[in-house]
Structure 1
């Protein structure tokens, strides 16, 4: 509870649970994705609540993460190199996961985001275009892209949970149960 770490754990658990229930009703096909999200919100019992908790929970997750990172910067936690590096990897994987989740609705804006943001990878010299075609599963954003993004969006939270455990192991290896450094007497 020192620096939003426990809230991050709670947010991750809520995201995984709501995500599993949403995945039971979601269809990763470009012709059906938007309709399946609409079906979840309209026809599934409390589906609207699941979707809103999942979407807004992601925002809360990032708010807690920014507070966690900010406090870590303020107190010089970057000196705990292993813990900090795992945290940076956690942050990047969380950003990737959120982006892929945003694309899953397959509406006009998420289609645009999938095209534009993944196309930024083409700026990498020599191999950029090849990587973009591999990401897209072809020469444009299509069904293969949506299927891949859904698979990764489903898988990455479990990787995030594993990385969080590694983050905690490194944190408690250096006996940092008193981050402010106050006398416990």
Structure 2
């Protein structure tokens, strides 16, 4: 029956009968974990959208209404807010595994993956604005103001805001974009999988090895990975739901009070540390953009698989993430400047 039906045969061939190298490790689970959390975000986000109000006078109150009055609303809100961290965390590990095992030579697969990373980070930023707390408002103000370094930047910022400040037009636009972006990401993910299955998944050795069907051997391995990660995820949701957030977002947004320490979510902190460590705004914005877009150039690099310098780069990435969350002090700025240079220099050395 499956062989006769073109759509079903394609699905079975892409999932059930997909040939997979016998020696892949649990690091290959993170791609499917990204897909799992994308589904979690779409479902929970849709359910939250039925109760959320994208008006600046009602947005903060509507989130409180979901938390206090809607049956199970607090669970949905915590699943969605912490799910973003797990989604991007799994994506970072997935990209890191691709770097370590030279998967960027599959140009179409790699470049679509980098586009997915950029769109996911953008979607996370848009969603962070929606609760309309203090950190949401000022984060939106600071980040969107970075576009002012472009030619006619002030006009671009005013167009993006829909006025001369982050206001009701900004919130409604961000809400609309945040709602539609996951479906764009889902479509690109399917394209990513299409090209991946066309060239085949890699393996730690980097050359052709014995292959077996994806199911049941690696399907069960994926399910085990789901169970472990979901236990960690729901432990965070039910016991430490605010641990990855910021206390400033418990206060309703106001343009009259600026938070002492403005910082984004943890998954942007590495780029934020690079931006903040550079005194010149234009150069800082360029470095921030290049810290992600540099991955587009990897298919043309002679990157060495398993290079030990990549582990130093990972340590430096974690250091930058920590520095991005630190208050603005001379010592942190100096260390961030050194770590920012090392971020690009270590990548360059890995390619030599």
Instruction: Name the TM tier (shorter chain).
Output: over 0.9
**Which sections of structure 1, spanning at least 5 residues, go unmatched?**
none
Conserved in 1, the CA contact under 8 Å of 2:129 and 2:136? yes
Conserved in 2, the CA contact under 8 Å of 1:3 and 1:71? no
2:65 to 34, 39, 58: 39
Conserved in 2, the CA contact under 8 Å of 1:42 and 1:48? yes
1:66-115 superposed Cα distances (whole Å, 9 cap, x missing partner): 11000000000111111111011100000000001000011111100111
1:183 to 185, 209, 216: 209
Query: Aligned residue for 2:86?
Result: 60
Query: Aligned residue for 1:4?
Result: 30
Does structure 1 residue 24 correspond to structure 2 residue 50?
yes
2:181 to 151, 156, 164: 156
- Kindly report which structure 2 residues correspond to 1:1-185, keeping only aligned pairs within 5 A, or say none: 2-124=28-150, 126-174=151-199, 176-180=200-204, 181=207, 183-184=209-210
Q: How far apart, in 2, do the equivalents of 1:14 and 1:32 lie?
A: 26
How many residues in Structure 1 have an aligned counterpart in Structure 2?
183
**Which sections of structure 2, spanning at least 5 residues, go unmatched?**
1-25, 212-352
1:118-170 superposed Cα distances (whole Å, 9 cap, x missing partner): 0001111x221121111100111110000000000000000000010111111
Q: How far apart, in 2, do the equivalents of 1:179 and 1:138 lie?
A: 51
User: After TM superposition, where is structure 1 displaced by more than 4 Å over at least 4 residues in a row?
Assistant: none
Q: How far apart, in 2, do the equivalents of 1:141 and 1:178 lie?
A: 45
Q: How far apart, in 2, do the equivalents of 1:36 and 1:128 lie?
A: 33
Structure 1-normalised TM-score?
A: 0.95
Q: CA deviation at 1:182?
A: 6.2
Q: How far apart, in 2, do the equivalents of 1:63 and 1:13 lie?
A: 15
Q: CA deviation at 1:177?
A: 3.4
The DSSP-based 3-state class of the residue aligned with 2:92 is helix
Conserved in 1, the CA contact under 8 Å of 2:103 and 2:202? no
Higher-Rg structure is 2
- Tell me how large the CA RMSD over aligned residues is: 1.3
Which range moves more in the overlay, 155-164 or 128-137?
Answer: 128-137
Conserved in 1, the CA contact under 8 Å of 2:60 and 2:131? yes
